[in-house]
Amino acid sequence: MSISFTYLSGRLTVYLSGELDHHAARETMQKITELLDEYLPRRCVLDLSGLRFMDSSGVALIVRLSRRMRELGGTLCVENPVGQARRVLSCAGVDKLVHFATIGG
Amino acid sequence: MNIRNYISIDFPSCSANEAFARAAAAAFASQLDPTMEELGDIRTAVSEAVTNCIVHAYPRELGRIRMRLRILDEDTLDIAVRDWGVGMENVQKAMEPLYTTGGEERSGMGFTIMQSFTDSLHVRSQPGKGTTVSMRRRIFRRNRIG
Ligand SMILES: Nc1ncnc2c1ncn2[C@@H]1O[C@H](COP(=O)(O)OP(=O)(O)OP(=O)(O)O)[C@@H](O)[C@H]1O
Ligand SMILES: [Mg+2]
């Protein structure tokens, strides 16, 4: 699991890559929470294009982040989930809770 | 029912073994020549079952998990994940979508995901004795030889 990010005028984009499971989830959540506290973005974008695997641990992480962003008065958007991650997200109904987008695809 | 091949692996309930269990299941299943999507489904179902043992069955100590994989007949992968942990009082309730005893780090969607990523899901559990989750997934036959 690895994380990188960019911040530009109120918009924090977090790129997740690798495998987001229970083993990786706590540290990932902690890193993203630190980024949110530091930048206080209006909009947080989770770019999942590099995510090879995700399970319900990732679902819980996205739901928590979406709640956190709402508390901060902003919004969370999930971008570019592919293959397996996309199927997990739609099975868990996350696409009805959080805004989804596919950029350039 | 013809058992064509099987493996059984015991491992401790540390979270580093989640990725190992997924990879082992995918490697065993590869003899059925699955598609990427079918492999993804198997990895997902195994990850959910094994994570439940790690998070719920043994909340305070490391315990033993056993994963048994079998090839049944020509085309079916049978997955059994067993623990000897706390068990469940009410399996039916535990399997309802969004039901969780795991707090905000869990989503309560594990069983729902296992159900939708496999063809059948069966759960047996006894409080204080442990839990066995059995799943079957048919792998669509393409150009397999043998
Ligand atoms: N192996 C197990 N041993 C004991 N209890 C279990 C086991 N597996 C599941 N449970 C119970 O069943 C509930 C539902 O499990 P399920 O996997 O659907 O959701 P979860 O693990 O709580 O959350 P998620 O899987 O979405 O992260 C758990 O919260 C737990 O109470
Ligand atoms: Mg679970």
pLDDT band at B79 (very low <50, low <70, confident <90, very high): very high
Average of per-residue pLDDT across B102-124: 97
Catalytic: B90?
no
Looking at residue A97, what is its pLDDT?
85
pTM, two decimals, is 0.96
B15 Cβ under 8 Å from any chain A Cβ: yes
Average of per-residue pLDDT across B45-59: 98
Residues of A in contact with B109 (CB under 8 A): 56, 59, 91-93
What CATH number is attached to the domain comprising A57? 3.30.750.24
- The answer, yes or no, to whether residue A104 has pLDDT greater than 60, is no
Q: What is the 3-state secondary structure (H, E, C) of B101-136?
A: CCHHHCCCCHHHHHHHHCCEEEEEEECCCEEEEEEE
Parent domain of A86:
2-101
Looking at residue B83, what is its pLDDT?
99
Percent of chain A predicted with pLDDT > 70: 98
- CA–CA separation, A58 and A87 (whole Å): 12
pLDDT band at B146 (very low <50, low <70, confident <90, very high): low
Average of per-residue pLDDT across A10-20: 98
- Dig out the tokens for A42 from the structure: 């209006």
Looking at residue B141, what is its pLDDT?
80
Digit-coded pLDDT (tens) for A17-47: 999 999 999 999 999 999 999 999 999 999 9
Specify the number of domains making up chain A.
1
B36 Cβ under 8 Å from any chain A Cβ: yes
B120 Cβ under 8 Å from any chain A Cβ: no
Average of per-residue pLDDT across B120-144: 93
Domain at B3-138, CATH from 3.90.79.10, 3.40.50.880, 3.30.565.10, 2.60.120.340: 3.30.565.10
Q: What is the mean pLDDT of chain B?
A: 96
Looking at residue A99, what is its pLDDT?
87
Residues of B in contact with A60 (CB under 8 A): 104-107
Which residue reads 């669509």 in tokens? Answer: B140
Residues 62-81 on A with a CB inside 8 Å of B are 63-64
Mutation target to probe the A interface, by most A beta carbons within 10 A, among B107, B116, B117, B137 is: B107
Backbone phi, then psi, for A13, in 5-degree steps?
A: -110, 120
- The answer, yes or no, to whether residue A14 has pLDDT greater than 90, is yes
Domain boundaries, chain B: 3-138
pLDDT band at A105 (very low <50, low <70, confident <90, very high): very low
